[in-house]
Amino acid sequence: METLDRDRHSSNGDALGQKARVDKWLWAARFFKTRSLAQQAVQKGRILIGDDAVKASRDVRIGDVITIDLEAGRWTVVVRTISEVRGPAPVARLLYEETVASAQAREAERTRRHLFREPAAGWHGRPTKRDRRVIAQAGSPGHDPSYGSPDGWPDKD
């Protein structure tokens, strides 16, 4: 039974002519949680093979260069093996090899996002009445940021 499970998840014996639909391959390589999410990304033009936008039915072959635009960043990978079966993550990582330039660009973007956070990232939900007063006071002309209490909140009258 062990060999059957291993054979099911492995892509040994891939012939050069072996191919799979791009949406199935992206799902098997674990870039997307569901195949329908992979199809939607392809339809939106976020998946490129070479420099061409593709349809979900396009076949992926060994050696194809795929650019995947995700919210987490842009991946450029080279297809190493073909599989239409979603297996464990360690097996999925063997389906592709990320290019060096792609890995460096994703690391630089991750560092940039870490160092320069979006100003509203610390806000959770709708501002309270007190928060709105502080925001309004900060945006008013002639506002002196040093005026007020040391903790940044306006002094109570």
- Count of H-run helices and E-run strands, the chain: 6, 7
Tokens of 129: 């009445």
For residue 157, how many other CB atoms are within 10 A of its CB? Answer: 3
Between CA 98 and CA 90 the distance in angstroms is 14
Q: Whole-prediction pTM value?
A: 0.66
Tens digits of residue pLDDT in 5-58 = 444 444 444 445 588 999 999 999 999 999 999 999 999 999 999 989 999 889
**146 CB contacts (<8 Å, ≥6 apart)?**
none
Domain 2-115 architecture: Roll (3.10)
Residue 31 · residue 75 · CB < 8 Å: yes
